[in-house]
Amino acid sequence: MAKVRSPQYPSIGLKEAIGKVRDVYNQDHQNAIPREVIACHMGYGSLNGKSLSILSALRKYGLFEGRGRSIRVSDLAVRIIAHEPGNSERFEAIKEAAGRPKLFAELDTRFRDGKASDPAIRSYLLAQKYIPSAADTVIRSYRETKRFVSAESSGYDPATETDLIEETMATARTQVLGSAVERDIAFPFTAVLSCDDYRVSLTSGCIEVEAKLTSKAALRKLIRSLQLNEQTLSDDTEAQIGDSVDNGNLDKLSE
């Protein structure tokens, strides 16, 4: 009688998988290496049932790539392990990896992102020809992955980058206004540059910048406007302004 085999599934959760791929990356980076070497890097003595199961799980998460006997750490894995928790690129990569296993994506769709009891999911898996022990493993790795993504999301605040830009621009605005007041600069005209992201006013005695920037692209746009505006000033006014606006610092912000 043929041995009953369950459909393919990740045997471990994503958090553990990332720990395994990190062990490989620390030893051989993204070099293409034999599976036997990868198994040793992950702490297994050889290719056996356990190590092959782990290798399969990592491939399902997209953490390894390549064909044949030699594989390598994927770019997706590097995007995760190269950044600290809370980094937006890491979080997006983790979400992508969590959705790579076809079975997990199927469970997310059927049970509204996993919002169902374990018995309900188990019943569904058994109906899909998973043997009981395999169904239990699927539920464990699936739940661990969902908890890991949730934990990572609590450390990533999508508003953080926006807050940082706004804080930086507030500091820049204070520096510009302070410099103008200290030098008693008198502009010979009033000009206003504005768009959806910012408003720059050049008036007698000061430069006013009002901005709420939500991306680096918007910040670069503001910087270009300030630079273009500087070119409209007369030579005498430019001499008065001196280094009131430190273009070197603004360029650094746009990197």
Q: Which pLDDT does position 39 carry in this prediction? A: 97
The secondary structure element, H or E, covering residue 148 is: helix 132-155
Chain-centroid distance of CA 137 in Å reads 29
pLDDT of amino acid 236: 46
Which H helix or E strand runs over 25? Answer: helix 14-28
CA–CA separation, 54 and 72 (whole Å): 15
> Which sequence spans correspond to the domains of the chain?
14-155, 159-253
pLDDT tens digit sequence for 135-152: 999 999 999 999 999 999
CA distance linking residue 167 with residue 157, whole number of Å: 16
CA distance 196 to 21: 44
Token pair in block for residue 193? 């540059």
Give residue 201's pLDDT. 66
What's the pLDDT at 229?
A: 54
Q: In angstroms, rounded to a whole number, what is the distance separating the alpha carbons of residues 44 and 31? A: 19
Separation CA 26–CA 40 (nearest Å): 13
pLDDT digits (tens, 9 = 90+) for 104-138: 999 999 999 889 999 999 999 999 999 999 999 99
φ, ψ of residue 192 to 5 degrees: the values are -130, 130
**Cβ contacts of 200 within 8 Å, gap of 6 or more:** 192, 193, 194, 207, 208, 209, 210, 222, 225, 226, 229
User: What stretches of the chain adopt beta strand conformation (E)?
Assistant: 33-34, 64-65, 70-73, 191-194, 198-203, 206-211
Output the pLDDT for position 163.
Answer: 53
- Residue stretches of the chain with pLDDT short of 50: 164-165, 168, 172, 175-176, 179-190, 204, 231-255
- State CA 125 to chain mean position distance: 32
Instruction: Give the largest Cα separation in the chain, rounded.
Output: 95
pTM above 0.85, yes or no: no
| Integer Cα distance of 93 and 80 in angstroms | 6
The radius of gyration of the chain from alpha carbons, rounded to an integer in Å, stands at 28
CA–CA gap between residue 206 and residue 185 (Å, rounded): 7
